[in-house]
Amino acid sequence: MTLAKDAKIYIAGHHGLVGSAIWKNLEARGYHNLIGRSHKELDLTNQVEVKRFFDEEQPDAVVLAAAFVGGIMANSLYRADFIMQNLKIQCNVIEQAYLHGVKKLLFLGSTCIYPKNAPQPMCEDSLLTSPLEYTNEEYAIAKIAGLKMCESYNLQYGTNYIAVMPTNLYGPNDNFHLENSHVMPAMMRKVYLAKLIHDNDWNAIRLDMNKRPINPPSALALEIGKQNVDGHNEDERILKALAFYGIEDNKVTLWGDGSPLREFLWSEDMADASVYILLHVDFGEIIGIDKYSSVFYGTRTDGVVDRNNSEGRGGAMPELGEIRNCHINIGTGKELTIKALSKLVKETVDFKGEVIWDETKPNGTPRKLIDVAKLHRLGWTHKVELEEGVKQLYDWYKQSLEG
């Protein structure tokens, strides 16, 4: 199915790392009828607000890039939030997309959906074959539910909802907040601040802290108080707050032993892959059925749904057999250890100090390399290599402090 250039496309999470890159990519391709709402304007966990938004806007396509996200620390502290907030967002948006006859939906998940000890590289068929990694289990379960919702709506109603599972992402508009950022931006900011402390560059430290203040979690609040820590605080309080996150004079402490292997994808590459799939890949192509809609009966042709009437409801023909794991991995197919990543970040920031590994803290999943054969078969491969991407991210971060 082709989306016309004037199609109205709603990007949920358009201020985020991936959502903003997808918006930019669509505009570059000539799609300008784009809709976005900030969290203040539209709370996606609120069913009434989401329904009202779809009633008013009636989008032709939806990109669901909004999520409640964070690293190991955040996943450990806010387990209930990670499962509940993400389930609410997904249920509300996918349900209203169906009820309003949205023609195409792209759901963004995460490769944390795969089992902790899945065979490497992880192919789509690894899903639900063994237990998940405990440290991000709630987030993973929510994302599994989201991709199964897309799959199930397709199989019951003949919709065209596609789920993509990106590997670890990094890039412009990344989250560098010390409380809930992912490994790459967290590591980069820690190394940068440790260098500034050693250089006694308090102007730069205060600029950084004013741009991204620390909102102390409970353990830190006991030491320094509950108020945010920013560049207006005294030196001692700033140093104590940074030390809580392992940031000291020419020294950075990172969680684990550095041995886990990770794959990283530049966010603008992820956006390009997402838009490529949105515009050129249909569910029928993924499951290997050329005329996908012809194997369904009673598929809706308008945007009206009567849940009390069986007529107009879809349903896969029994002869299709079991259809599952229709999501698409998006990544590079390349990996490196967290320790090797830290060396690359150190070189990029020109940090001459020491990196300490706190082996009392969890490593997370030992290895997370994905199989991207399906993605390659569909016609897309990545462009930005890691060394180039880390340099671009550091340049973007420094520029963001000036804005």
- Catalytic positions are 139
Q: Is 291 exposed, middle or buried (0-12, 13-18, 19+ CB in 10 A)?
A: exposed
Task: Report residue 169 as tokens.
Answer: 């992402």
**Sign of the CA dihedral 56, 57, 62, 66?**
negative
Q: Comparing C-alpha atoms, which of 117, 15, 118, 14 is closest to residue 59?
A: 14
Strands 261-262 and 367-368: parallel
Sheet with 104-108: strands ordered across: 34-35, 9-12, 61-64, 104-108, 161-166, 328-330
CA distance 200 to 198: 5
Q: Comparing C-alpha atoms, which of 222, 203, 214 is closest to residue 238?
A: 214
| Start-to-end CA span in the chain (Å) | 40
